[in-house]
A = this chain, B = another copy of it.
Amino acid sequence: MICVMTPEELAEIDQWHETLLRVRYAETDKMGVVYHANYLVWFEIGRTEFCRARGFSYRDMEEDENAFLVVAESYCRYKAPAYYDDVLVVRTHITELRRRSMRFGYEIIRESDGVVIAEGETCHVVTDANSHVRTFPPGFAELLLSEPINEPVGEPVPEDEAPL
């Protein structure tokens, strides 16, 4: 069997991870909104934290297991502008999991008003440090499908609560 998990099977156990981040000044452009390439950086933060919440350190996968999730495709649909200092929720889930590849799906939502800023997807191939395609290290695919170890804590931006 090639596919560890079909999209249909995944949909049944569908788990989203939520991570908060705050828009940096450096991420804006002269239009006064976030420059669009930064969304791909945020997607990366989303999948890293998705993994971490399941006891899976992407850094360790690279350094200890010689396994890299190389980006093979990216797609983003920009639905509403995000602004400097906005607190955004990056929602991440797995949309496909195969033996040598996987897909993550994303939503970015402004926390203050719930507006959907963007939706996207990335496709990844598992490789070793020499860029040869390989399978996931033992146990990692299972971790990806497991329940989060602790509830999404979701308060990485506590200063947000400070009164003005």
Contacts and interface: CB of A to CB of B under 8 A. Distances in A.
B68 A78 contact: no
Given A53-B159, A55-B164, A40 B32 contact: no
Given A24-B44, A57-B164, A74-B75, A158 B156 contact: yes
Contact of A156 (B48, B76, B156, B162): B156
B84 A59 contact: yes
Instruction: Give the copy number.
Output: 4
A70 to B, nearest CB: 8
Contact of A149 (B32, B36, B81, B162): B162
A154 B69 CA distance: 31
Contacts of A70: 31, 78
A78 B101 CA distance: 14
